[in-house]
Every structure is written in structure tokens, then in C-alpha cells.
């Protein structure tokens, strides 16, 4: 029956972890997948999460289904975190939010909804972008086009190219934007650059689709939501936000995300939400209970929320220190040209290493990075740093 079914190549990033796991070298380092590891090389379980989890276990509840669009307390807390506690959009009832199966689920439900609502719209994504963006929107039936984003030579944003390409898009085109901590490059827009992009998007009648998977990993939860806040203040009639707590709560496997759609008014938001619910219903019916309850439990308590901000700040500051450490080690070794790594934001750095250099890192040193040269800085440790710096230096001079 399935004789003609073709074998699909594995995900390049997740495939790296498989290869890493199979490697028997004791000092191997996995800088492939986008996961934050602590100094001991473990995925942290945040204290604030542990506390809610213990309370939930002590007062164990039956597991009924959640509503199609998830836990109301979770959605409300998510809206405040994204749009601001006193957002006029929220007060006007213009935002329809649904708990989704991770940020990935938010992207896919959003894509399916948009394809139905705007069947002729195309989507523009940054070049490069998280590879799954192209896959998700392509699978939902979108024609995916690129806009310029990254300049390999300067290791930073190609902002002029970005503006030129966005300015040439047909009105009505959906534009996928990374709110902060761009995956894979680590190159972000400044406040002034965001203001220009928001003005351009508004002028041109484009539909922003903001992906925020790393809120709190660059500057803080408020500052990292700048793009959402600016679109919120801009007066545009609609935009979409896909958000994820996978990283910010270190809850990768709980699949905690949300889709928020800003509509023109309360009544439009209601109609949009009814469509979103239908889309979810026909995919997975309703989200799971546990992860949402953890996040809602933390964000619903002033004390636990403050502790979360503190723990998130700890992860953020540790990444900043690892960036600085890597840059200074490389400079010490005689490779000062890697200074740009310190300007990049979030978990990732586009290191500028070629595919051949990445292959050498793996084969000769047991260091795993993505073939594009993306390294996950959040997977370094003070212990692995000297080895990684020496290896990067060696392959960059080879």
C-alpha cells in the first residue's frame, strides 16, 4: 500500500542531536539544537515551575478536557505579557488568544486560519529564518517568499535590504517578523529600526505575523516585546502573534504556546476566535492541561512571577557572559574578528563558519553545530568554553 511512499530526510537540527548522542567522545559538545543548558549541562527546571508543580501534585485534580482554545487564565496572562498589562487593545477586546501546542502549533494554526481568510495572500520570511517557518507556511498552502535580512560580511542586519524588500511586497502580504533573538542569526532590529518597519508595514498595508519564541532572552520581558507594543500603538487594523514559553519557562516538552490575533474591534475578534477554534478543533481538538497550568500558576501569582523574571534574567545574563567569554577567549587566541558574537542577541549566533568548518568541528573536536554555522551559545558552559574557542580558532585558521 505504501510502496511508493518516499523516505523524507530527517530534520537537520534534530538529526544533529541524534549524531551527538551516538558520539562516544567524553568531551563532545552539542551546540546544535536551540535549548538552554545550565552550567552542569542540564535543562533547568525553574524553581517557580517546581513550586506550582508541587502544589498541583499535592491537590491533584481530575483531567477533564480543556476548552478548544485552552485555559482562560493562561490566555489572559499571555495577553498581558505580550501586549502589556494596560494595553488599550486588550481593554477594547480586540485580541483573540488561544493556548496552542507550543509556538509551532501557534504558527500552524495561524497559518491555516490565514490561508482560509486570505486565500491569495503570500507570506514573506527573513532570509535566513528558522527553517520550520518555510515548512509550516508552505504546508499550509502559502507561497513563501524571502526578504533580505542578514549581511554575511558585516555579520549584522541588512536593514537597507530588508526595507527595500518589504517595501516592494504586494499589499496584503503576510510578513513574518522575529520579535527578538532572531533564529538563526542573533541579529535584531533596534528600536528606531522597528519604528521604521512598523511605519512601512502600515503604509504598505502588509499583515505582520510576529513570532516571539525568546521573550526575556535579550533585554527583558518588556523590552523584548517592543515590536508587539509598536504594532499595537500603530493603529493598523490587524496583526498576528505566535508566542512560545518553551524557552522562557524551560518547558520545552510541555508544548506551551499561544496564538493571538489582533482584530479591528471586539466583534471582529469574536468572529476570528470562532474560526481559530474551528481550526484547532479540526487539528487536535484542544491543548493539553499540565504545561498551561504551570505557566498560569506562575504568572497568576505576583510572588512566583517575580521569581520567574529573576530566573529568566539569570539565564539571560549567563548567555551574555558566555558570549563575552567566547569572544574574549577567541581574541586571546588571536582571532579578534569574532567580536560580532557579542552584539548578537538571544540563544544563537551565526558564527560565520562554513559548512566545511562546521564539519571539521564535529569530526576533529566532537563539537556539533548547524551546517549554516549557527551555534547555540546557550548550550556552552564555562567548562566547554576554552575547548570550543580553541576549536573554532583552529578551524577558522585551517
Please list every residue from 231 through 290 that binds ligand PLP, using CB under 6 A: 244, 246, 257
| Binder of residue 244, out of ligand PLP, ligand TYF, none (CB less than 5 to 8 A by kind) | ligand PLP
Task: Say whether 130 is catalytic.
Answer: yes
- Could you say whether residue 189 binds ligand PLP (CB under 6 A)? no
Residues 117-146, one symbol each (x = binds ligand PLP by CB under 6 A, - = not), give -------------x----------------
Enumerate the H helices of 205-241 as residue ranges: 226-233
Among 104, 185, 243, 372, binds ligand TYF (CB under 6 A): 104
Residues 180, 212: contact at Cβ < 8 Å? yes
Applying CB under 6 A, which of residues 32, 70, 103, 287 lies at the interface with ligand PLP? 103
Q: Does 130 bind ligand TYF (CB under 6 A)?
A: yes
- Judged by beta carbon, residue 34 or residue 208, the one nearer ligand TYF is 34
13 binds ligand TYF per the rule CB under 6 A: yes
**How many whole angstroms separate alpha carbon 184 and alpha carbon 151?**
13
Of 69, 158, 211, 224, the active-site residue reads 211
Distances (CA, A) of 117 to 3, 89, 217, 300, 361: 37, 22, 33, 34, 46
Contact letters for ligand TYF, residues 132-171 (x by CB under 6 A): ----------------------------------------
113 CB-near residues (< 8 Å, 6+ apart): 261, 272, 275, 276, 279
Q: How far apart are CA 30 and CA 366, in angstroms?
A: 8
Out of 115, 218, 247, 308, the active site residue is 247
Site for ligand TYF contains 79 (CB under 6 A):
no
In the annotation, is 302 catalytic?
Answer: no
Residue 54, Cβ neighbours under 10 Å: how many? 10
User: Which runs of consecutive H residues, i.e. helices, occur in the chain?
Assistant: 12-22, 47-58, 72-83, 88-91, 102-117, 131-139, 159-167, 191-204, 226-233, 266-281, 290-299, 302-333, 355-365, 385-397
- Is position 211 annotated as part of the catalytic site? yes
DSSP string over 130-176: -HHHHHHHHHTTPPEEEEE-EETTTTEE-HHHHHHHHHTSPTT-EEE
- Closer to ligand PLP by CB, 183 or 396: give it: 183
Nearer of residues 178 and 360 to ligand PLP, judged by Cβ: 178
**376 binding ligand PLP? (CB under 6 A):** no
Catalytic residues: 130, 211, 247
Residues of the shown chain interacting with ligand PLP in the complex, contacts defined by CB under 6 A: 34, 102-104, 130, 178, 183, 211, 213, 244, 246, 257
Amino acid at each position: 500500500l505504501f510502496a511508493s511512499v518516499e523516505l523524507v530526510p530527517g530534520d537537520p537540527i534534530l538529526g544533529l542531536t541524534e549524531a551527538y548522542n551516538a558520539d562516544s567522545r567524553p568531551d563532545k559538545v552539542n551546540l546544535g539544537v536551540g535549548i538552554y543548558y545550565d552550567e552542569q549541562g542540564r535543562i533547568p527546571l525553574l524553581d517557580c515551575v517546581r513550586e506550582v508543580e508541587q502544589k498541583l501534585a499535592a491537590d491533584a485534580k481530575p483531567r477533564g478536557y480543556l476548552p478548544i482554545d485552552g485555559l482562560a487564565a493562561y490566555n489572559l496572562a499571555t495577553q498581558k505579557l505580550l501586549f502589556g498589562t494596560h494595553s488599550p487593545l486588550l481593554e477594547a477586546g480586540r485580541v483573540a488568544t488561544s493556548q496552542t501546542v507550543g509556538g509551532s502549533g501557534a504558527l500552524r494554526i495561524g497559518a491555516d486560519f490565514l490561508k482560509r481568510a486570505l486565500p491569495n495572500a503570500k507570506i514573506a520570511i527573513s532570509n535566513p529564518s528558522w527553517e520550520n517557518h518555510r515548512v509550516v507556511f508552505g504546508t499550509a498552502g502559502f507561497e513563501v517568499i524571502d526578504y533580505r535580512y542578514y549581511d554575511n560580511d558585516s555579520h549584522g542586519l541588512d536593514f537597507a535590504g530588508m526595507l527595500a524588500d518589504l517595501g516592494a511586497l504586494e499589499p496584503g502580504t503576510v510578513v513574518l517578523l522575529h520579535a527578538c533573538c532572531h533564529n538563526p542569526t542573533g541579529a535584531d532590529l533596534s528600536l528606531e529600526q522597528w519604528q521604521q518597519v512598523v511605519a512601512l508595514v502600515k503604509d504598505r498595508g502588509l499583515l505582520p505575523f510576529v513570532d516571539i519564541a525568546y521573550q526575556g532572552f535579550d533585554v527583558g520581558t518588556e523590552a523584548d516585546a517592543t515590536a508587539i507594543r509598536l504594532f499595537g500603538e500603530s493603529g493598523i487594523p490587524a496583526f498576528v502573534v505566535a508566542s512560545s514559553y518553551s524557552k522562557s519557562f524551560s518547558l520545552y516538552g510541555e508544548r506551551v504556546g499561544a496564538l493571538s490575533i489582533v482584530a479591528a474591534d471586539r466583534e471582529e475578534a469574536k468572529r476570528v476566535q470562532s474560526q481559530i477554534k474551528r481550526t484547532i478543533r479540526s487539528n487536535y481538538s484542544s491543548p493539553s492541561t499540565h504545561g498551561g497550568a504551570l505557566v498560569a500558576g506562575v504568572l497568576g501569582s505576583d510572588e512566583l512571577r517575580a521569581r520567574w523574571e529573576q530566573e529568566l534574567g539569570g539565564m539571560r545574563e549567563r548567555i551574555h557572559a558566555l558570549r563575552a567569554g567566547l569572544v574574549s577567549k577567541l581574541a586571546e587566541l588571536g582571532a579578534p574578528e569574532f567580536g560580532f558574537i557579542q552584539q548578537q542577541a538571544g540563544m544563537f549566533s551565526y558564527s560565520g563558519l562554513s559548512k566545511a568548518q562546521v564539519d571539521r568541528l564535529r569530526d576533529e573536536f566532537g563539537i556539533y553545530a548547524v551546517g549554516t554555522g549557527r551555534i547555540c551559545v546557550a548550550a556552552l558552559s564555562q567548562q566547554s568554553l576554552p575547548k570550543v574557542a580553541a576549536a573554532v580558532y583552529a578551524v577558522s585558521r585551517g
